[in-house]
Amino acid sequence: MPRTVRIVEKILDANDQLAAQNRARLDRAGVLALNLMASPGAGKTSLVERTVEGLKGRLRMAVIDGDLATSLDADRAAAAGAAATQINTGGQCHLDAVMVQDALHEIDLAATDLLIVENVGNLVCPSSFALGTHKSVLIASVPEGDDKPYKYPGSYRNVDVLILNKIDLLPYVPFRRDYFERGVEMLNPGVCSFALSCRTGEGVEAWLAWIAAETVSFRADRASAPGR
Amino acid sequence: MHELAVTENLLKTALRHGEAAAARRVTDLHLVIGELATIVGDSVQFYWDIISKGTLCEGASLHFERVPAELRCLDCGHPYKLDGALTECPACASARVRIVAGDEFRLEAIEVEG
């Protein structure tokens, strides 16, 4: 006799549960974690370099680099001074909570204040997979064009921070900043935003100050949370 | 683009519930997929046929209920569907809008035999 079993379960529920475990582990260790997402070439690794160089000596940093096959990005993060761990996704278009869980084993969390997870370069898939990080950061860049919020709403919607990189190119490429910002505002009103250039360093200070402030409030939250 | 990963999750969930229901066979899966979930049904079906072989779910049909993305204007309350690219409220041109539907991505029910 055929019968129907009602389920109503999110298909990525297993990933979400693992992400929650990752988060609990990071919380226990007192590590603030960022998930850096962007299309290929937007400047994820350049931002990692700027961040690590800028906060060296103030924060102990680790980087997890998601890449299809190479270790080029992790090498750059390591050269900048972070403890870098490479995840080769073997062609998969995004990181998921399982991969991050494995990578967390490679990191000395007790000796880490800030963990940066550099996701696979892709403006579609990473936004669907929670990793357990505390803040999601999307990097847009001027040469990609001003229409990206309109074309990739899923990526712009659920991030905590939006960075517009390569602002040094604004005089040379057609990029209507008001149009871009209006799209962002529709999808993610009031999102914390930074405009900067990883090449010239313009605007990077404000981003570094934000991270420093976040780590302070993260620690304060943990200190006041009983049982942690 | 990540349909294989998604389909593997789907199979796991369906098998878990099929086994819990002591089913001999899972014949149908009913999925609800929002337009913003960036999942291509044909690709899911393609992987499904391969990875469900030899399981309780072999040969099961996938049924997709697509949910269009829907927005609501915070200024005038006008509801409208996302038609291609994101647009301001067509009634009052406000950019203060919220996406209220289209993120869905869940297994609603399975049909089983035995």
The tens digit of pLDDT for each residue in B67-109 reads 999 999 999 999 999 877 788 999 999 988 988 999 899 999 9
What order do you get walking across the sheet with B105-113 strand by strand?
A: A3-10, B105-113, B25-34, B61-67
Supply the pLDDT for residue B107: 95
ipTM, 2 dp: 0.81
Report the distance separating Cα A44 and Cα A68, nearest Å. 15
Chain B contacts of A92, Cβ < 8 Å? 2, 5
- Min distance A220 CA to chain B CA atoms (Å): 32
Report the DSSP pairing between strands A61-67 and A83-88: parallel
Query: Where does residue A98 rank: exposed (0-12), middle (13-18), buried (19+ CB within 10 A)?
Result: middle
Minimum-distance CB partner of B106 among A1, A10, A189: A10
Which of B3, B9, B30, B33 to mutate against chain A (most A CBs within 10 Å)? B9
* SS3 at position A6: strand
SS3 of chain A: helix, strand, coil, percent, to 5: 45, 20, 35
Distance CA A108, CA B23 (A): 46
Q: Return the DSSP state at A102.
A: H
CB spacing of A151 vs B36 below 8 angstroms: no
Contacts of A170 (CB under 8 A, 6+ apart): A142, A177
pLDDT tens digits, one per residue of A143-179: 999 999 998 888 998 899 999 999 999 999 999 999 9
Query: In angstroms, how far apart are the furthest CA atoms of chain A?
Result: 70
Strand runs labelled E in A11-60: 32-38
**Beta-bridge mates of residue B26:** B112
Contact A187 B99 (CB under 8 A): yes
B39 pLDDT band (50/70/90 cuts)? Answer: confident
* SS3 of residue B97 by DSSP: strand
Threshold 0.80, pTM exceeds: yes
